[in-house]
A = this chain, B = another copy of it.
Amino acid sequence: MPQFLNSQNPGFEADFTHLLGMKREDSADVDAIVAGIIEDVRARGDDALIELTSKFDRLDLTPETLAFSEAEIDAFCAQVTPEDRAALELAAARIRAYHERQTPEDARWTEASGAELGWRWSAVAAAGLYVPGGQASYPSSVLMNAIPAKVAGVGRLVVVCPTPGGAVNPLVVLAAKLSGVDTIYRVGGAQAVAALAYGTQTIAPVDKITGPGNAFVAAAKRRVFGRVGIDMIAGPSEILVIGDGTGDPDWIALDLLSQAEHDQVAQSVLITTSQAEADAVTQAVERHLETLERRDIAGASWRDYGAVIVVGTLEEAATLSNRMAPEHLELCVDDPEALLPQIRHAGAIFLGHWTPEAIGDYVGGPNHVLPTARSARFSSGLSVLDFMKRTTLARMTPDALRAIGPAAERLAISESLQAHGLSVRARLDKLND
């Protein structure tokens, strides 16, 4: 059974704090194994990558077959049904349109003294996207990672995706093609991350690595961070639904289950001002769990990490939501716009009864790579900015240096950095000649 809490009960604060602190990540300690794999790929390049792929994915490759050929890509794309292709194209177009609005502006301005200041954004030169193989090989994740990179203007965009035993998801290949990916390598695990970070004879290194993966992939990303940029380390998915009794319990139940079915350590929480809604949603969840294809996973998630919380007011709901800082937040209330200003921390907000979270997973437009485990307190979902960096610009004139140089010199001296001060003083002396 999920946890049932009521904010009027005396033990509520302790129970809610416990809910917040529940550790859902399985912290398998794979760090030593991953360190060895990375060193091996750094030292032996393609040879190590091919050996490890044979060992872990039961797939024998050569340097020539590391990447899919054009003919192979075309053949996989041809396997996709017209209906699936149309859905993927609609999703790609909407994701692209949303992310194109994120492209940041350069700035440059001139002060009265003639000094010019500003900044300039530019794309990373090369990015690598990790796409899991097997069950969690989601074409939607390819779109969500690759399209922002292309919109940013990334020059070379490659995908690594393990194909255990040679099994390929044609939709993943089509999603990569629709997104403008240059090359798809059929390798995965920590060895693929190492190849992207350090390069091999066949795979040129990249500057940024994004995309979800298992514990080995996450550990490898952490380890190569600094050598290359990485996106966040994604934890298990979460949804919080805030209700006021005006929603359809069946819809809310399905929304909760659409996170629970991802992973048995996913978390689905309902906070509602209505005891009747709490009861009706709980019953609807139980009913759907009888027939849902992934009922074992969704049922375990709901039983172990699910919660239904009854509160007195929507203000209270917003306060609890801000403490949870959920990855996904649905405002299933009559007037979501009135509630919105009270929400301070959330990865993505879905407003009103007609916006199931699943829309955001696929076709809404916003990114579905979002901060988990309360990290929406300080971080954002994936965006075009993750594939760009900002260079600041400054250009002084003699007048500008005359105006602000002496202050720089004084602060340099106060910090005992004499050469800093002298570099300004030498120029000021020239002006006074």
Contact = CB atoms under 8 A, between A and B. Distances in A.
A347 B207 contact: no
A336 B394 CA distance: 11
Interface string A74-108: 00000000011011101100100010010000010
A177 interface: no
A423 interface: yes
| Chain copies in complex | 2
Nearest to A206: B378
A17 interface: no
A398 B354 contact: yes
A125 interface: yes
A418 B378 contact: no
Contacts of A86: 407
A392 B381 contact: yes
A262 interface: yes
A179 interface: no
Given A233-B226, A354-B400, A411-B363, A348 B394 contact: yes
A359 interface: yes
A376 B388 CA distance: 10
Contacts of A370: 392
B379 A389 contact: yes
B414 A262 contact: no
Interface residues of A, number: 118
B392 A366 contact: yes
A58 interface: no
B117 A366 contact: yes
Nearest to A25: B226
A45 interface: no
Interface stretch (A35-43, A160-168, A288-296): A288-296
Given A171-B414, A378-B208, A379-B389, A359 B419 contact: no
A122 B416 contact: no
Given A125-B377, A135-B416, A395 B352 contact: yes
Contact of A90 (B357, B389, B407, B422): B407
A324 interface: no
19 contacts: A84-B410, A90-B404, A91-B411, A122-B344, A139-B414, A171-B414, A207-B377, A251-B426, A260-B419, A293-B416, A294-B419, A348-B393, A349-B392, A354-B395, A358-B420, A360-B394, A362-B420, A379-B389, A383-B390
Given A294-B419, A359-B396, 16 more contacts: A140-B411, A229-B377, A251-B423, A254-B419, A254-B426, A257-B422, A261-B418, A261-B419, A288-B419, A348-B392, A354-B395, A354-B398, A354-B427, A358-B412, A360-B392, A366-B394
Which A-B residue pairs are the 3 nearest by beta carbons? A229-B378, A366-B392, A351-B395
